[in-house]
Structure 1
């Protein structure tokens, strides 16, 4: 039975080839939303290869698992997978992949718990710095202003999400720049970018030796910012959004010489001021459809013996 091995090989090839292809492509910066979708499909295909290989390896190693997996299938379909020709490697492969699945779930749970703890700590800090007034209900306002000498703005997630802005940011942001900042943060919230960041961080931390997961995490952090920039610029203009970015980050040394902790900000400003041309609607549709087919390939590989038996 070669299907589990083929699925693992397909997953490895996808994990190696897809990041290199996307790194050489010039369109992700032009269409960050499409790029986010493509990356999700690539990672889903890699994980699906592992999941299907684990299932078929377990079915080959243990009759009980095989009975559950192939319960509604005709006998000819079961025989097409040649389970009797497998060796001891099937059980070892199934156990190893099952451990990987459990570890992935554990890393995701840990990342979610940590994110909720950070969010709860931030809410407590905001409540401490900006206590409720007498008669004021918690979560009634969507904007919280904090005293602070550092210009900053961030989206405070929770049951009643709010935008937190420091007084220094209000002094620096002029005209519709504050509206652009609000639109940027709302773009993150509406697209649920936090879930993408949590999942990519969990995979990268859980499997640090797998380059595709590290690339997935890095690209998610970059692309979600570009997508939110585009949402803000469509509503309030690219120049206004770029100026808002400059005002919020000018005092952090990100525009000076040498490495900076937020080195991506100058690239984002340059992209807003010299916008790259968008892809045509037809090409965006083709890229979206092609990416959606990537996770379908391992499913077809897994079902080929059964489909041949039925035909």
Structure 2
């Protein structure tokens, strides 16, 4: 078997591996929760390598770079469409905030008069906006609020929206592959872990943990006796922070 024939035989198998088992294994790897920044870079490299290998395999298999070029244009088109759609939604959100939100220069956040306890980062080009509700300000104590704002500002400063947008586009490029959703969900989890680490570095792990639980429960003061039922993503964040705390605190938390 010639080297060229062997290459043409093996490359489709490599593509299949990159599109199926590799993202599943990467999403389940334990080290990603311990090193979210490295995990984010790994996911980006994975996507670039997979796209390049797919295009190269198609070009060699069809003996035509034109077909690979058309696929590349289609992939870029899906990326641009995703960016355009999300940017339009963000502009509408910004227009709504302009009517209902009040900027707090001391906290450097936009405050919305809403009883619900919410905090989020709204992408806005090079100037992302951190938004909190009155309910959040009333619910969290000073330390918890610092953790919440540090978390959201990490999203803003590190432009996590670009990373998430890229993998939303990846999901649209391969809508027929369940693993594209796996990759997008894993990248979202990585950005949350990254922001949680920033909050923990700014205040502490226990305060960050308390802030997550406080927003999730919507209950001021202690959480004793509260029937808290977080979603799986939030529970994963809680367990991750508990894993980074002294063992006695894990037992005290009862998780």
Further displaced range: 12-21 or 166-175: 12-21
The secondary structure found in structure 1 opposite 2:132 is: strand
Alpha-carbon offset, residue 120 of structure 1: 0.7
Q: TM-score, normalised by structure 2?
A: 0.80
In structure 1, what is the equivalent of residue 78 of structure 2? 107
1:98-141 residue CA offsets vs partner (Å, 9 max, x unmatched): 33322211111111111111111111111111368xxxxxx998
Q: Quick check: 1:273 aligned with 2:239?
A: no
- Indicate if the aligned counterparts of 2:59 and 2:67 stay in contact, CA closer than 8 A: no
1:66-109 residue CA offsets vs partner (Å, 9 max, x unmatched): xxxxxxxxxxxxxxxxxxxxxxx423xx4543333222111111
Listed as ranges, the gaps of 5+ residues in structure 1 are 58-88, 133-138, 278-311
Structure 1: distance between partners of 2:48 and 2:86: 22
- Indicate if the aligned counterparts of 1:142 and 1:162 stay in contact, CA closer than 8 A: no
The secondary structure found in structure 1 opposite 2:130 is: strand
1:206-253 residue CA offsets vs partner (Å, 9 max, x unmatched): 211234422211101111101110111011101111111122221499
In structure 2, what is the equivalent of residue 148 of structure 1? 114
Structure 1 residues 51, 263: closer, same or farther in 2, change over 3 A?
same
Q: Quick check: 1:18 aligned with 2:16?
A: no
1:157-179 residue CA offsets vs partner (Å, 9 max, x unmatched): 32533321111100001021111
RMSD of aligned Cα (Å): 2.9
Which has the larger Rg?
Answer: 1
Structure 2: distance between partners of 1:254 and 1:195: 36
Listed as ranges, the gaps of 5+ residues in structure 2 are 220-225, 247-255
Q: Quick check: 1:161 aligned with 2:161?
A: no
Structure 1 residues 5, 47: closer, same or farther in 2, change over 3 A?
farther
Aligned length: 234
Q: TM-score, normalised by structure 1?
A: 0.67
In structure 2, what is the equivalent of residue 67 of structure 1? none
Structure 1 residues 54, 40: closer, same or farther in 2, change over 3 A?
same
Structure 2: distance between partners of 1:153 and 1:147: 12
Structure 2: distance between partners of 1:121 and 1:222: 26
Structure 1: distance between partners of 2:106 and 2:60: 53
Structure scoring higher RCO (CA < 8 A, sep ≥ 6) equals 1
In structure 2, what is the equivalent of residue 218 of structure 1? 185
Structure 1 residues 102, 5: closer, same or farther in 2, change over 3 A?
farther
Structure 1 residues 185, 165: closer, same or farther in 2, change over 3 A?
same
Q: Quick check: 1:255 aligned with 2:228?
A: yes
